[in-house]
Amino acid sequence: MIQVSEALTIVAENSSKMPTQKIPVNKALGYVLAKTVHAPIAMPPFRQSAMDGYAFTHSRRHQYDVVGISQAGDHSNTKLEFNEAVRIFTGAFVPDDADTVVMQEHVMANEQSILITNMPEQFANVRGKGEQIQKGDVVFEANTLITPAAVGFLACLGITAITVYKKPKVAFLVTGNELVESGKKLPKGKIFESNSIMLQAALQTIGIKKTKVYTVKDKLKATKKALKEILPQYDIVLISGGISVGDYDFVKEALLANEVVELFYKINQKPGKPMFFGKRKETLVFALPGNPASSLTNFYVYVYPAIRNKMGFSEIHLPKLIRKLNADIPNTTGKTLFLKALYDETHVEVLGGQSSAMLNSFAIANSLLIVPNDAEMLKKEELVTLLPIG
Amino acid sequence: MIQVSEALTIVAENSSKMPTQKIPVNKALGYVLAKTVHAPIAMPPFRQSAMDGYAFTHSRRHQYDVVGISQAGDHSNTKLEFNEAVRIFTGAFVPDDADTVVMQEHVMANEQSILITNMPEQFANVRGKGEQIQKGDVVFEANTLITPAAVGFLACLGITAITVYKKPKVAFLVTGNELVESGKKLPKGKIFESNSIMLQAALQTIGIKKTKVYTVKDKLKATKKALKEILPQYDIVLISGGISVGDYDFVKEALLANEVVELFYKINQKPGKPMFFGKRKETLVFALPGNPASSLTNFYVYVYPAIRNKMGFSEIHLPKLIRKLNADIPNTTGKTLFLKALYDETHVEVLGGQSSAMLNSFAIANSLLIVPNDAEMLKKEELVTLLPIG
């Protein structure tokens, strides 16, 4: 049995980056750039007015004749004498003969001329060509996450496609004779299968929209056959159930028979101890605990960083937050605990109902509090570490 | 011109909740419950073993004959004498005659019998029927956000559909003679239109997947006609461009002609001052500034809470974070500033390039630092407020 830190290292070291693909910028939200992007044009592409006002050549003069107009979208490069100005609007082309824009609030105007009542400094209110970025300059380095603002910046430079790391294809294999599809009639002794629906939702929160679900009964032959079909098609295979120490657990046997190399099995933690992590070529296999809360915990702690690594993120783990504990938390287990918790700006409170089968507290938690395996007691007001979730 | 706080209040007070709808649980991630949900069954639905081991009736006795087996999914209610036990697995039905499960690591076993080497307490390792929730109890109150764990909890109770607030339908109207579709040939004086793509991405991050985009040239008649078509069909209409003080701005005129009631126009902030907010019946209209960074700022500050309010969230604004400032920030404008910033666990750094036209710094920012309009200077190491974004 290995420690959480070792398990995290093994997951990170074994999740290689996905191949790259070129995709449209308007579909690129949440992807990570695989290639550095350079600007195909300068931005702004021409000298632009930053205000509604009048463009003129700066001098000691306060009165100017208005000899033209420059609206946004125009390119009327009006010739200007030293005593002439053009009416101009925000974003519009500044004629080559002008170097300054005075905002309309700072002039008195009639149809033909203006009197500047509050003289701006030379070059005021003119955005230089390429002030934001010059043609050929780096827009974003490789490994940049595409945010809404990044989408906007790429689009304003006229870039319509970029090269990103693909998202992994994820399959979900459900095993368990005790499981019945949610909403059907529930025979005695059975429970509703909920892990596949729950983990599909968790995958959606990190941008994996479609997950194929396969179901097999707890039979070695059926499980072997399903894995043989699934493994070559997917980048990540999540398996739920059948991986605890019971006599009827044979998922591990089916995995090994399908050339999945075991990288670890069981982690010194609670909940979530009985997890298998393995690999077949570049496909990662997580056989998650069957208990819902254990399964979701291990999703956040292990599957999440593996997916982020595959997608090219430079920071793969959930960000760690530090908060003050609002009550003593003993740890007599010698295991790392992941406790469902609620944090605010300063403190964190551990929720009731921490059983590995219970989702009640998970549903209202906003974080997992980490209690290290070698900490026998976390004291009230002590600074502790948590992983924000949801 | 109103202050930011007044604008926020007006937006919150005017964004009514959406109608409700019944949707499948597996599509419910990110929705907010409109009706309290009660448990149709107890969970667990029967007494369950929490361990792989042996079920027996607790006594002083250490040796038991193994007379049966209970696997997960079985319902073999084996009759047990005081000296008998059944082999049992995690999640399996505990026979009515047993009250305790000993984990298999704490027994010595042969085919027919076990010797308990480490006696558990009475009732140990047995999950009581309804321990997690009793039939009829409240699963989630109305106004609960559906997280992955909530999806799992509903599914494990066999609940397949819930009543939620609908998501608003959002339309985006682009105006501006200066705008060219991104990636086309760029004539002199024109710029690429990027706000619609950027704000569609921003909407996606809060679960609004499809946004219809309409484009009109800067002409009053065309804009009036487009609004007449759009307003009755959508819950939120975002308009980009044409709302500054220039002579060629007529969006406001077109809005008023379409019975959109003005709730405010212009906010004492930078960037993002020239914004119109209005309402026609229950449809909200935001005419956002044309500058990309201003537009995205106002999306996060005003449109985001309006959408959350419509979707039934109890907390509608971006959560406020408090950090220490890493350098002095002067504010000579008398306006509330929203500055693109990067925060870590303790500090926040304001990024370069705060111009309202610039998206560079926005693309790498993780927050907007709020500088109050009445603060002339925020000092290094002072605690400041920020809105996390992206």
The number of C-beta contacts closer than 8 angstroms across A and B is 287
Say whether both A223 and A275 belong to one domain. yes
The reply to whether B154 falls in a domain is yes
Query: Which CATH number goes with the domain that contains A150?
Result: 3.90.105.10
pLDDT at A64: 97
A359–B149 CB contact, under 8 Å? yes
Q: How far is CA B146 from the centre of its chain?
A: 9
> Binning pLDDT at 50, 70 and 90, where does residue A245 land?
low
pLDDT at B355: 77
Amino acid at A108: M
The alpha-carbon gap from A190 to the nearest alpha carbon of chain B, in Å, equals: 5
Please report the pLDDT score of residue A247 as a whole number: 47
Band of the pLDDT at B241, cuts 50, 70, 90? confident
Q: Are A300 and A286 in contact (CB under 8 A)?
A: no
| The last residue of a domain, from among B97, B127, B157 | B127
A316: in domain: no
Q: Which of B197, B205, B213, B360 to mutate to test the interface with A (most CBs of A within 10 A)?
A: B197
With beta carbons under 8 A apart, name residues in chain B contacting A78.
none
- A123 part of contact set with chain B, CB < 8 Å: no
Cβ within 8 Å, pair A182-B45:
no
For residues A199 and A288, state if they share a domain: yes
Q: What is the pLDDT of residues A185-196, one digit of tens each?
A: 999 999 999 999
- Cβ atoms of A58 and A152 closer than 8 Å: no
Residue of A nearest to B196 (CA): A152
| DSSP track, A108-156 | EE-SSEEEESSPPPTTTTEEPTTSSB-TTSEEE-TT-B--HHHHHHHHH
Cβ–Cβ contacts within 10 Å for residue A365, how many? 27
On whether residue A315 sits in a domain, the answer given is: no
Give residue A243's pLDDT: 54
pLDDT of the residue at B172: 97
- Structurally, how many domains does chain A consist of? 4
- Tell me the per-residue pLDDT of B166-175, one tens digit each, with 9 for 90 and over: 999 999 999 8
Whether residue B25 sits in one domain with residue B12: no
Identify the band that residue B356 occupies on the pLDDT scale cut at 50, 70 and 90: confident
Q: Which of B41, B74, B197 sits opposite A151 (nearest CB)?
A: B197
Q: Are residues A9 and A84 in the same domain?
A: no
> Is pLDDT at B247 greater than 90 in this prediction?
no
Which CATH number goes with the domain that contains B332?
A: 2.40.340.10
| Consecutive H or E run containing B228 | helix B220-230
The predicted-structure confidence for B293-335, as pLDDT tens digits, reads as follows 999 999 999 999 999 999 999 999 998 999 999 999 999 999 9
B315, part of any domain: no
Pair (B265, B356) in one structural domain: no
Is A353 close to B132, i.e. CB distance below 8 A? yes
Rounded mean pLDDT of B139-154?
A: 96
* pLDDT score for A220: 87
Calpha distance A79→A97 (Å, rounded): 6
Tell whether the torsion through CA atoms of B3, B4, B6 and B10 is positive or negative: positive
Domain presence at residue B145: yes
Among B100, B127, B154, identify where a domain stops. B127
d(CA B91, CA A191): 9
Long-range contacts of A325-328 (CB under 8 A, 24+ apart): A325/A369, A325/A378, A325/A379, A325/A380, A325/A381, A325/A382, A325/A383, A325/A384, A326/A380, A327/A380, A328/A377, A328/A378, A328/A379, A328/A380
Residues contacting residue B239 through CB under 8 Å, at least 6 positions apart? B172, B173, B174, B175, B251, B255, B276, B285, B286, B287, B288
CA B43/CA A79 separation, integer angstroms: 81
**CB–CB of B259/B195 below 8 Å?**
no
The partner residue sitting opposite B183, judged by closest CB among A151, A158, A292, is A158
For an interface test with B, the pick among A89, A90, A105 (most B C-beta atoms closer than 10 Å) comes out as A90
Q: Are residues A187 and A150 part of one domain?
A: no
Do A30 and A96 lie in one domain? The reply is no
Q: Which amino acid is at A46?
A: F
State the pLDDT confidence band at B372, using cuts at 50, 70 and 90: very high
Q: Which of A50, A183, A362 sits opposite B158 (nearest CB)?
A: A183
| Nearest-5° Cα angle at A255, A251 to A260 | 155
Q: Do A363 and B184 touch (CB under 8 A)?
A: no
A24 touches chain B (CB under 8 A): no
Q: Domain boundary at A77, A102, A127, which?
A: A127
Name the residue facing B189 among A46, A157, A200 (closest C-beta): A46
The closest CB to that of A345, out of B148, B322, B353, belongs to: B322
Within-domain flag for B316: no
Report in angstroms the alpha-carbon separations of B304 from A278, B185, B207, B276, B338: 42, 34, 11, 15, 15
Both A296 and A336 in one domain: the answer is: no
Judge contact between B75 and B56, C-beta under 8 A: no
What's the CATH code of the domain at B267? 3.40.980.10
A-chain CB neighbours of B154 within 8 Å are 194
Claim to verify: residue B210 and residue B269 sit in the same structural domain: yes
C-beta atoms of B390 and A50 within 8 A:
no
Interchain CB distance below 8 Å, A353 and B178: no
State the pLDDT at residue A249: 67
B191–A362 C-beta distance less than 8 A: no
Handedness of CA A346, A352, A356, A362 (dihedral sign): negative
Distance from CA of A184 to the nearest CA of B (A): 7
Rounded Cα gap, residues B308 and B15, in angstroms: 9
Tell me what pLDDT residue A219 has: 83
CATH number, domain at A79? 2.170.190.11
CA distance A182 to A325: 38
* Partner B contacted by A176 (CB < 8 A): yes
Question: pLDDT (tens digit, 9 = 90+) per residue, A64-80?
Answer: 999 999 988 889 899 99
Which residues of chain A does B92 touch, with a Cβ-Cβ cutoff of 8 Å?
Answer: 178, 189
To the nearest whole percent, how much of chain A has pLDDT over 90? 86
Which of A69, A359, A366, A389 should be substituted to probe chain B, the one whose Cβ sees the most B Cβ atoms within 10 Å?
Answer: A359
| Cβ atoms A309, A318 nearer than 8 A | no
* B136 pLDDT higher than 80: yes
Contact yes or no for B72 and A345 at CB 8 A: no
SS3 for B303? helix
Kindly state whether residues A121 and A153 are assigned to the same domain.
no
User: What is the chain B residue with the closest CA to A159?
Assistant: B183
Contact call for B248 and A89, based on CB within 8 A: yes
What confidence category does residue A359 fall into, taking pLDDT thresholds of 50, 70 and 90?
confident
Q: Which residues from A are below 8 Å from B191, CB to CB?
A: 44-45, 91, 156
ipTM for the assembly = 0.93
- From chain B residues 36-95, the ones with a CB under 8 A of any chain A CB are 41, 44-46, 48, 50, 52, 71-75, 87, 89-93
Q: Which of residues 250-289 of A touch B (CB under 8 A)?
A: none
Chain B's closest residue to A105, CA to CA, is B245
Q: B178 lies in a domain?
A: yes
Tell me the residue length of chain B.
390
Determine the structural domain holding residue B289 and report its residue range: 4-18+167-310
How big is the CA angle at A121 (ends A119 and A125), to the nearest 5 degrees? 95
Alpha helices in chain A (DSSP H): 4-14, 148-156, 195-205, 220-230, 251-257, 292-298, 304-310, 360-364
- B132 and A104: CB-CB below 8 Å? no
B150 and B233 housed in the same domain: no
Residue A244 scores a pLDDT above 70: no
Q: Is residue A209 part of a domain?
A: yes
pLDDT, average across residues B97-116 = 95
Pick from A184-188, A244-248, B92-96, B368-372: least confident: A244-248
Same domain, B93 and B184: no
Q: What is the reported pLDDT for B390? A: 72
Name the token pair of A293: 């809360």
Q: Which long-range contacts (CB under 8 A, 24 or more apart) does A67-71 make?
A: A68/A95, A70/A94, A70/A95, A71/B177, A71/B178, A71/B248
Q: A38: which residues sit within 8 A by CB, 6+ positions away?
A: A136, A137, A138, A139
